[in-house]
Amino acid sequence: MLFTHPLTSKLLHPIKLSLIKHFSQSTLQISMSIETLKQSNSTSMEETHLPKTSSNSSYPTPLSPPLPLISKEIELSRAMAASSKATVFSLSRDDVIFEDQWLLVVNKPSGIYCETVLSSVPRLLQQSSDSVEASELHLANRLDRDTSGVMVITKFHKVAAKLVKAFTDHKVQKTYMALCVGSAPKWDRIRLKSGHGRSKFGAWRVYAASDVGRKLPGGSVVKDMETLFELLSVNRVIHFKESFQCAENLEKVVVVEDKSSTDANHGRDEILVRAFPKSGRTHQIRLHCQYLGLSIKGDVKYEGVCEWKGEICDAHSLHAESLSLEHPITGLPVKFQAPLPLWATQACNHEDHT
């Protein structure tokens, strides 16, 4: 069974899309000069504070770069903006993708914390005859503050336990849309396999696939991370050729063992990709896009542009498009689909380009 937002009339396959409702984002006033930030972007926060260590460290070496200095103040500004919305934000019935007596599935806006969405659910449920204790409500999946899209909320603890286990066991299939900036890829589909973990100063980084299982400075270990990407459009020109089911033989597979040879700051093409994360690691798609040299637009933490075409990016362009799973109570297969944000529909419609 497929459950889509009422405003969603078609999926991205076929590519012909209708313009759908999107969430407008308030432009943040960045108090610092963008040009000054760009000049300091070559130095990272970790490099600034990194003490000299012995070259024969037993810990694995991260392959993705540390966080740029440019990200610190911009991320703080975005966080403050999101926090300021917490007391005034409320869900409406227009945000609901699916609801039954056990689940509530909503289309989370960009620039809003998951906890803010969860705290507004009781007010939403008061509008119906469904009476649920607020203490029973639980986030089955989490999205980053600036990531929009499908978010599942369970209405009872027993349902939450089943659904969380499904996510943990990787029995939930997810798709994401990302708008990136870089050089147009030479692949149609690429599968990236790497390690994932926290570096010495707590930042999430890409590690070699052969480092999986090795211990990290904080006591955790490197975990496996795998993402399949489909190229959908380049500069608003459709590039997608084959369906997900029919093109496995066309995949390029990359097992990460060395630092990326592609500069994330090289190239100015606007690239839309769909991501199928096999694992569910923190910032997985953002990290793998960075490794491919296709940092997500606005994702300043992972070398994404902070301004584009004369406008400041107040969020990264990443959208949780769909979730497919077995219903935790009925056992029936269900698919929840969120409407695409404006940036995604425009990236697939050359006529909207101005």
- Catalytic positions are 144
* CB atoms closer than 10 angstroms to residue 343: 20
What beta strand segments (E) does 278-317 contain?
307-308, 311-312
Cβ pair 179, 313 in contact under 8 A: no
Q: Are strands 333-337 and 2-4 parallel, antiparallel or unpaired?
A: parallel
67, 260, 290, 302, 341 from 110: Cα distances, Å: 22, 29, 20, 18, 9
In angstroms, the CA 196 to CA 209 distance is 8
Determine phi and psi for 332, rounding to 5 degrees.
-80, 145
In angstroms, the CA 275 to CA 297 distance is 15
Tokens of 309: 């075409």
In angstroms, the CA 200 to CA 289 distance is 22
Cβ pair 291, 274 in contact under 8 A: no
Cβ pair 271, 185 in contact under 8 A: yes
* CB atoms closer than 10 angstroms to residue 53: 9
Half-sphere exposure of 254 (CA within 13 A, CB side): 21
Exposed / middle / buried, residue 163 (Cβ in 10 Å: 0-12, 13-18, 19+): buried
In angstroms, the CA 45 to CA 12 distance is 39
Candidates 64, 292, 293, 304; CA nearest to 191 is 292
Cβ pair 131, 119 in contact under 8 A: no
